[in-house]
Amino acid sequence: MNEIALKYGCNPNQKPARIFMAEGGNLPVVVLNGKPGYINFLDAFNSWQLVSELKENTGTVAAASFKHVSPAGAALGFPLDDVLRKMYHIDPAMQLSALASAYARARGADRMSSFGDWIALSDVCDVSTAKIIKNEVTDGIIAPGYEPEALEILKSKKGGNYNVVSIDPDYVPVSLEHKQVYGITFEQGRNDLKIDHRLLENIVTENKTLSDAQKRDLVLALITLKYTQSNSVCYVQDGQVIGVGAGQQSRIHCTRLAGQKADN
């Protein structure tokens, strides 16, 4: 498919609206259910970049919860203990895959902001993850694929209108990005900075070393911030974002906002 028509742009008065490949060729995404909108696709593409980079640079499955082009939460697929299950409203007897645990953590970072979120998964959506998503209020999901039963579970949401998008995990975007503002075109190189543990080799701490867990959490925080509207601050603990302050004019307010979420 070389273009997807949208109901409207950022606001109902902004018509017509569509997504397409400016360089020609087919889009790397397929809409399997529903009709995603303009903001939905902005969330989808930014959240997909976040989780795919987390998977690539940590070696662990990842999930993100996006709202209005910034992550409300992001996490790696580590198991949930009994306390976290209770906090995130997960049945104690429910069997969770690593991917399901990742989304439960991502959603649990800030459940208020995640209400009506867009979900991104680094790996094929399995039944375990779909069952968690089924019980949440969410606008849509992007993943590299879906198990047949998981897809049917997701299609049943929102009266059959839940937005389900698959993306080609092998898609590589062009190196130059373009954006129009007030009829004027801006061009820049794509932000392809690789964020992994090697980026942290020259960080000086009191004891001159960072543990593997600290490096992992710093990578998680930095990749999350890469896809958060500036100014932005991120708190991370145990492979999970626990507070994001995004899009504030003052970094002080960002820090306070992220800190309040982390405290909660």
The domains of the chain, with CATH numbers, are 3-189 (3.40.140.20)
pLDDT for the residue numbered 194: 92
Residue 213 has pLDDT above 90, yes or no: yes
Q: What is the pTM of this model?
A: 0.94
**Backbone angles phi and psi of 127, in degrees to 5:** -65, -40
**Backbone angles phi and psi of 221, in degrees to 5:** -65, -45
SS3 content of the chain, % helix, strand, coil (to 5): 35, 25, 40
Residue 235 has pLDDT above 90, yes or no: yes
Q: What is the pLDDT of residues 172-202, one digit of tens each?
A: 999 999 999 999 999 999 999 999 988 888 7
> What's the chain's average pLDDT?
94
Q: What is the pLDDT of residues 245-259, one digit of tens each?
A: 999 999 999 999 999
Structure tokens at 217: 């959490």
Q: What is the pLDDT of residues 11-37, one digit of tens each?
A: 999 999 999 998 888 999 999 999 999
**Backbone angles phi and psi of 192, in degrees to 5:** -105, 25
| Tokens 């960002």 sit on residue | 254
Q: What percent of the chain has pLDDT over 70?
A: 100
Residue 151 has pLDDT above 90, yes or no: yes
Q: Which of 67, 127, 69 is nearest to 100 (CA)?
A: 127
Residue 146 has pLDDT above 80, yes or no: yes
The partner residues of 29 in beta bridges, in order of sequence, read 167
**Backbone angles phi and psi of 248, in degrees to 5:** -95, 150
pLDDT for the residue numbered 23: 81
